Structure 1
Amino acid sequence: MTTTRPVLYLFGSAAPPVFDVAKVVADAQGRGFDVCLGLTPTAARWLEPQKAELERVTGHPVRSAYKLPGEPDVWPKADVIAVAPATFNTVNAWALGITRDFVVGVVAEGIGKGVPMVAMPCVNAAYARHRQFERSITELREMGVRVLYGDGGVDGDDGFVPNQPGQGKPEQYPWHLLLDTVEDITLAR
Structure 2
Amino acid sequence: MSQAPVLYLIVCAAPPAQRIGELVELLMADGWRVCLIATPIAASWLDCDVLADQTGYPVRAQWRRPDDPEPHPPADVAAVVPATFNTLNKWATGASDTLVLGILNELLGSGLPIQVFPRVKAVLTAHPAYQPNLERLREAGVVVHDGDVLRTPEEMSPNRWAVVVDALRATRSDT
TM-score, length-scaled by structure 1: 0.85
Question: Within the alignment, does 1:144 sit opposite 2:133 as a pair?
Answer: no
Contact 1:118 1:146 in 2 (8 A): yes
CA deviation after TM superposition for structure 1 residue 9, in Å: 0.6
Equivalent residues, number:
173
Question: Within the alignment, does 1:184 sit opposite 2:166 as a pair?
Answer: no
CA deviation after TM superposition for structure 1 residue 70, in Å: 2.4
What fraction of aligned residue pairs are identical, expressed as a percent? Answer: 36
Label 1:4 to 1:161 Cα distance change in 2 as closer, same or farther (>3 A). closer
* 1: CA distance, partners of 2:155 / 2:89: 21
Paired AA for residue 188 in structure 1: D
Superposed, 1:2-151 pairs within 5 Å as 4-47=3-46, 50-149=47-146
What residue in structure 1 maps to residue 156 of structure 2? 171
* 1: CA distance, partners of 2:99 / 2:92: 15
CA deviation after TM superposition for structure 1 residue 131, in Å: 1.1
Contact 2:82 2:150 in 1 (8 A): no
* 1: CA distance, partners of 2:155 / 2:97: 27
TM-score, length-scaled by structure 2: 0.92
CA deviation after TM superposition for structure 1 residue 170, in Å: 4.9
RMSD (CA atoms): 1.9
Deviations 1:85-141 (Å, cap 9, x if unpaired)? 000001101111111011111011101111110001001110000011111110110
Structure 1 unaligned blocks of 5 or more: 151-158
Where does structure 1 differ by over 4 angstroms across 4 or more consecutive aligned residues? none
CA deviation after TM superposition for structure 1 residue 161, in Å: 7.2
3-state secondary structure, aligned to 2:129: helix
Contact 1:12 1:84 in 2 (8 A): yes
Label 1:145 to 1:124 Cα distance change in 2 as closer, same or farther (>3 A). same
What residue in structure 2 maps to residue 160 of structure 1? 149
Label 1:11 to 1:161 Cα distance change in 2 as closer, same or farther (>3 A). closer
Contact 1:60 1:75 in 2 (8 A): yes
* 1: CA distance, partners of 2:172 / 2:57: 21
Structure 2 unaligned blocks of 5 or more: none
* 1: CA distance, partners of 2:150 / 2:132: 17
CA deviation after TM superposition for structure 1 residue 43, in Å: 0.3
3-state secondary structure, aligned to 2:138: helix
Deviations 1:46-70 (Å, cap 9, x if unpaired)? 11xx111110000000000111112
* 2: CA distance, partners of 1:97 / 1:174: 31
3-state secondary structure, aligned to 1:135: helix
